[in-house]
Chains A and B, each alone.
Chain A
Amino acid sequence: MPEDVPAIELDGVVKEYLAHGETVQAVKGVSLTIGEGEFFSLLGPSGCGKTTTMRMIAGFEEPTKGLVKLLGQDVTNVPPNKRDINMVFQSYALFPHMNVWENVAFGLRRKKVAEAEIKQRVGDILEIVDLTGREKRRPREMSGGQQQRVALARALVNRPRALLLDEPLGALDLKLRQQMQTELKRIQREVGITFVYVTHDQSEALTMSDRIAVMNDGLVEQLADPREIYERPASKFVAGFIGTSNLLSGTVDAVDGDLLVVRLGEHDRILVPGQAAAGDTVDLTVRPEKITISTERPEAGLSMVQGTVGELTYLGTYNSYAVALADGTEITVFQQNAIDSSTTAERGDTVWLSWRPQHSYTLS
């Protein structure tokens, strides 16, 4: 198989539902390409169409428009039991009347794999997910984390071309979730299968994925690797959804080479890379940890704004300042907790905020 055939392709996929006599567009036109062996995430708020997109890849829903391709083959109308991909359901959906072994062996038995090979493969996969010795347990006799691993094993044992996971860690508590994130990543490296991972948890997507498609309201807003999504959000929505970010709005004062000079208040001067003409209004964003807070005027060549410290929150490894600008805009600044754990400013102080031009971006 040639290298460049993608594992999964969606081409202009639209999904409409009829609900109470009205047509609802759950997915409004999604095109994306997922490479073999990639850890790909669909990230977005609840109701943005992630599950629907995934169910079309799995074959549980037929797209109203568009094509679904697996390894270059059009499978748009192929039922799920004929697709060489498997799904891990949000609620696990284990067979309650079967024990762990039977659950995991289910797919292989339906594919009429020889009993000796089934034994071998089920044994191997249970070892990978660390469930050896629990073969005879029923799902209801297991903890959430264990059920989760059974669901994973039940899908992986079939060696599918791709594995679809719909918020697989959503039901677990924080500690277990973080543990399972690492675990999933390890398993994915070990088996080398394409993972399509649905989540509404941005930190989960950022830590695990090779690439992320950020979805909003049935559309992909940005498709890039985690660093780019975080550092260079392509839209207001992405900037707001991923991490904490500051959104600023101002008028272009001048254009200085490839930098725009944007003015907010009297002493403020923001330099930001971008395309616009003098007099245009632009939106821009800068991450809280890129901002330096000081009581003295920063050096020229940096973006700088002046404001008053409102809330000051101690968050362990860092301090968070809420700084109000003259026009009322509130800016969040993270400051690493210094060795003597002192703070630069207190509530009510007037401060300067500054950052490098390349750490801010204009938004569409």
Chain B
Amino acid sequence: MRRWTPYWLALPAWLWLAIFLVVPIAAMASVSLTTGNLIDGFTQTFSVSNYSDAIAKYSTQLVRSLVYGGVATVIMLVLGYPVAYWIAFKAGHRKSMFLFLLLLPFFVSFVLRTISWGFLLADDGILLGTLKGWGVLPQDFHVLATTVAVIGGLVYNFLPFMILPIYVALERVDPRVIEASYDLYASRLSTFRRVVLPLSLPGVFAGVLMTFVPATADPINAQVLGGTSNTMIGNIVQTEYLVNNDYPTASAISFTLMAVLLIGIFIYARALGTENVLEAAAR
């Protein structure tokens, strides 16, 4: 009987997943195939045209979201890797302090943080106002309501999710293995390229997943920091649901986004998760 214990212990988690993930998804899937409106009611028509209509109407925002999410993820990788590297190898006994600092912003709500970024980037705010006062920037310079602001906000909000998994992977690299590389005539650069980087790839993989998916689907940054030309797919879902009450369209968009992300992740996992990259590094 004892061997069943782990399953019993896992049961609450399975139930949780079933009730709060599987059921809503199934319900949404069903809603996405209905027609009608809030006043007359929705009927299950299995009309696939919800999807084709939604994609036709919002393909711009969908593509924009993927581009913003992708660009933000690349920037986070470029910014985050060195930070993770530095904390893992150079921070010494202050490691835990830096990790804490990294998590500190999470003690403030996500929306509030984004709004305060809005203040910071306001046309005549602390940053731009001061710089304009000094004459460093022209008077008509602005950041808010631009692509730069939205991507900047995404980077700012999700960066810790890139750094932490990379840090964990680097932290697990045996320092003796790095020394062995130096001992075997490798320079610093080639030690990084052939040993450290390949061994940290699982962390990079996790970091990219943990940032790209939520950044692409995020509505808050575009809403608070972006303008009318920066609408992302998350905003569309929100509007269709809460403002237009067009549940079928909102559900169809959500599923389309989910499908696109899953396919993207799958391709990405095939490219990076396999031995290919490691094999290239070994040469």
Report if A and B associate in a common complex. Answer: yes
**Number of A residues, CB within 8 Å of B:** 26
Per-residue contact bits, chain B 135-174, to A (CB 8 Å; 1 contact, 0 not): 0000000000000000000000000000000000000001
Tell me which of A83-91, A168-176, A202-210 binds B: A83-91
Given A81-B187, A91-B174, A93-B174, is A106 in contact with B182 using a C-beta cutoff of 8 Å?
Answer: no
Chain B 5-20 interface residues, beta-carbon cutoff 8 Å to A:
none
- Shortest distance between the CB of A127 and any CB in chain B (Å): 20
Q: Does B27 contact A (CB under 8 A)?
A: no
**Could you say which residues of chain B place their CB within 8 Å of the CB of A111?**
185
CA A155 to CA B184, docked complex, whole Å: 8
User: Is B179 within 8 A of A86, CB to CB?
Assistant: no
Q: How far is the CB of A52 from chain B (nearest CB, A)?
A: 14
CB pair A80 B182 closer than 8 Å: yes
Known: A87-B180, A96-B177, A97-B199. A81 touches B282 (CB 8 A): no
Are B186 and A102 within 8 A (Cβ)?
no
How many angstroms from the CA of A58 to the CA of B180 in the assembled complex?
Answer: 11
Nearest residue, chain A, Cβ from B186: A110
Tell me the smallest distance from the CB of B179 to a CB of chain A, in Å: 6
**What separation, in Å, do the CA atoms of A82 and B183 have in the docked complex?**
8
Which chain A residues numbered 130 to 183 have a C-beta less than 8 Å away from chain B?
A: 154-155, 158
Chain A residues numbered 11-64 whose CB sits less than 8 Å from any CB in chain B? 58, 60
Q: Is the interface of B mostly helix, strand, loop or mixed?
A: helix
Q: Given contacts A91-B176, A93-B179, A97-B198, is CB(A86)–CB(B184) below 8 Å? A: yes
Inter-chain CA distance A99–B278, complex, in Å, is 10
Is B25 part of the contact surface with A, judged by Cβ < 8 Å? no
Q: For the complex, what is the distance from the CA of A80 to the CA of B199, rounded to whole Å?
A: 22
Given A80-B179, A89-B176, A91-B174, CB of A96 within 8 Å of CB of B184:
no
The range of chain B's interface size is 20 to 34
Find out whether the CB atom of A158 lies under 8 angstroms from the CB atom of B184: yes
Flag whether A277 is at the interface (Cβ < 8 A). Answer: no
Answer yes or no: A227 CB below 8 A from chain B CBs.
no
Report Cα–Cα, A217/B180, bound state, in Å: 27
Minimum distance in angstroms from A191 CB to a CB of chain B: 17
CA distance A82 to B182 in the complex (A): 9
Contact A110 B176 (CB under 8 A): no
Chain B residues within 8 Å of A91, by CB: 174, 176
**Residues in chain A near residue B180, CB distance under 8 A:** 87, 89, 93-95, 154
B283 lies within 8 A of A106 (CB)? no
Contact check, B282 vs A89: say whether CB atoms are below 8 A apart: no
Task: Determine the chain A residues whose CB is within 8 A of the CB of B44 once the complex forms.
Answer: none
> In the bound complex, how far is the Cα of B181 from the Cα of A110, in angstroms?
9
- Tell me which of A79, A97, A107 contacts B281 (CB under 8 A): A97
Q: Which residues of B contact A106 (CB under 8 A)?
A: 181, 184, 186, 194
Query: How would residues 90 to 121 of chain A score, 1 for a CB under 8 Å from any chain B CB and 0 otherwise?
Result: 01011111110010001101110000000000
Shortest CB distance A36–B (Å): 20
Does B190 touch A at the CB level, under 8 Å?
A: yes
Once A98-B282, A110-B190 are accepted as A-B contacts, the answer to whether A93 and B177 lie under 8 Å apart by CB is yes
Q: How far is the CB of B82 from chain A (nearest CB, A)?
A: 21
A171 → chain B closest CB, angstroms:
13
Task: Give the CA-CA distance A91 to B176 in the complex, in Å.
Answer: 8
| CB-based nearest B residue for A101 | B282
Q: How far is the CB of B55 from chain A (nearest CB, A)?
A: 41
Q: How far is the CA of A95 from the CA of B187 in the complex (A)?
A: 16
Contact at B283–A95, with CB atoms within 8 Å?
no
Decide yes or no whether B204 CB sits under 8 A from chain A. no
Known pairs A93-B174, A102-B282, A109-B283; list 11 more (Cβ under 8 Å).
Answer: A79-B182, A80-B179, A81-B182, A96-B199, A97-B199, A97-B278, A99-B282, A107-B184, A111-B185, A155-B184, A158-B184
The 8 A-B residue pairs with the shortest CB-CB distance, nearest first, are: A107-B184, A93-B176, A93-B180, A110-B185, A102-B282, A98-B282, A80-B182, A97-B278
> Interface residues, chain B, CB within 8 Å of chain A?
174, 176-177, 179-187, 190, 194-195, 198-199, 278, 281-283
19 pairs of residues in contact across A and B, judged by CB atoms under 8 Å? A60-B182, A79-B182, A86-B184, A87-B183, A89-B176, A91-B174, A93-B174, A93-B176, A95-B195, A97-B198, A97-B199, A97-B281, A102-B283, A109-B283, A110-B186, A154-B180, A155-B183, A155-B184, A158-B185
